Amino acid sequence: MPEVTTTAPCAVDGATLHVNDLLSESREEQERGGYFHTLREILQQPSTWLDTAERMTARAAELSPWVEGIRSLVLTGSGSSEYAGACVRLVLQNALSVATQTLGGGVLLTHGARAIPPERPGLMISLARSGDSPESVAAVSLMLDVEPGIRHLVITCNRQGRLAITYRDDPRVQVIALDERTNDRSLVMTSSFTNMVLAARALGLLQAPDRYRALCRDLSERAGRLLGTSFPVLARVAEKDFNRVLFLGSGSRFGAARESALKMLEMTAGRVIAISETYLGLRHGPMSLVHSDTWVVCFLSSDPQIRGYESDLIRELSRKQLGLGKLIFGEHIPHDLAGPADVLVESTGSASLGDEDWPVLDVIVGQILAFFRCRKEGLQPDSPSSDGVIQRVVQNFALHRTETAP
């Protein structure tokens, strides 16, 4: 039988003891172990989400004119910030009834206005943890120069970052700085990621602030239960003998799969190869990655039609005996979907909430897996890239504009 855990409150005690084993160490010991910031930033997410809900609700009146009448919407950021946009793109497109696109900040630097939808007026939401990476300010600056029909909203976790300071008094740009706690000190983004997703989510509920608050409270409670119950089982998964991880998701949850794969890569300094794919996309070549040393993480949809396709693919992997094992995260997971080596993590309420608001919970699963795998590899979660290949903020690089290019 597969191992099964649930996010029901009754299962909290044993898992809390597991977390407390780490938290009970002195700050000096935690810093020496290199996990002081990362663990707290993962655990603080439920409370910071409530703060973000209040901040965004307080700004609703200011933001409404920015959204009113738009004909296109672009979510942009780099790395994890781009994937945060991918997590919220579909729900905003449906809520606002406008064509919505997610673009990496680098694409704006290389291709400018050619990369964005032509409909005007448009809104561009720039997401950034620090706002200090080279493309953060440069992408906004470029678009302000060449596209007067685009309105700009900056959502950042760093009120002292270049992105926030540069445009704080610019009437063409609205800047929202989230709670300083979300400006993660760890190399990897955790609470910054989920808070930016929920901050952007507010754009679809500006006229329904009570509903937005209720959504954030609901997610906060679910995340608290997930954090309270999932550490032991996910720690055990992270200890398994895999060298590769495949994260699967559909729709908005594919954004969570992309972020989870990046977390695993970053926190293991590339020692564990991690990729993401959609369930239906896996058959078109990427299934060749699923060897006997591959762990497969399945974010399972609550939508019956989507789940049908996903379940078929999971059963196909089992039938072909592909992969070392699977972790399936969802609600009412059929036990016949998993084999003896597989692990089921049940989280109640996904059907009532809907897939489009579920990615912030999927990502927590990915964060915890990456955290424990990092420790198994003998690395430090706060700074896993000991050789400095990657850093918390991308170092400066040359910026090219057409008029200055050689």
Collect the ranges in the chain with pLDDT lower than 70: 1, 3-18, 350, 389-396, 402-406
Distance between CA 206 and CA 242 in Å, rounded? Answer: 45
pLDDT at 374: 96
Q: Is residue 166 within 8 Å of 128, Cβ to Cβ?
A: no
β-strand partners of 247: 276, 297
Q: Which pTM value belongs to this model?
A: 0.93
Model pLDDT for residues 359-393, shown as the tens digit of each residue: 999 999 999 999 999 999 999 999 998 777 655 56
3-state secondary structure the chain: CCEEEECCHHHHHHHHHHHHHHHCCCHHHHHHHCCHHHHHHHHCHHHHHHHHHHHHHHCHHHHHHHHCCCCEEEEEECCHHHHHHHHHHHHHHHHHCCEEEEEEHHHHHHHHHHHCCCCCCEEEEEEECCCCCHHHHHHHHHHHHHCCCEEEEEEECCCCCHHHHHHCCCCCEEEEECCHHHCCCCCCCCHHHHHHHHHHHHHHHCCCHHHHHHHHHHHHHHHHHHHHHHHHHHHHHHCCCCCEEEEECCCHHHHHHHHHHHHHHHHCCCCCEEEEECHHHHCCCHHHHCCCCEEEEEECCCCHHHHHHHHHHHHHHHHCCCCCEEEEEECCCCHHHCCCCCEEEECCCHHHHCHHHCHHHHHHHHHHHHHHHHHHCCCCCCCCCCCCCCCCCCCCCCCCCCCCCC
């926190």: which residue's tokens? 267
Q: How many CB atoms lie within 10 A of CB 146?
A: 11
Q: Is residue 362 within 8 Å of 302, Cβ to Cβ?
A: no
Q: Phi first, then psi: what are they for 346, rounded to 5°?
A: -85, 135
Domain with CATH 3.40.50.10490 in the chain: 3-33+214-376, 45-207
Distance between CA 73 and CA 369 in Å, rounded? Answer: 33
Q: Is residue 332 within 8 Å of 311, Cβ to Cβ?
A: no
Question: Minimal CA–CA distance to 30: which of 370, 264, 386, 380?
Answer: 380
pLDDT at 7: 52
Write out the two tokens for 28: 């000096």
- The CATH superfamily holding the domain 3-33+214-376 is Glucose-6-phosphate isomerase like protein; domain 1 (3.40.50.10490)
Write out the two tokens for 248: 């699967």
Write the single-letter amino acid at 177: A
Write the single-letter amino acid at 38: T
Choosing among 3.40.190.10, 3.40.50.10490, 3.40.50.620, 3.10.450.50, the CATH entry for 45-207 is 3.40.50.10490
Write out the two tokens for 253: 């949850």
Q: How many CB atoms lie within 10 A of CB 65?
A: 10
Q: Phi first, then psi: what are they for 69, rounded to 5°?
A: 80, 5
Write out the two tokens for 198: 């929920």
pLDDT at 16: 47
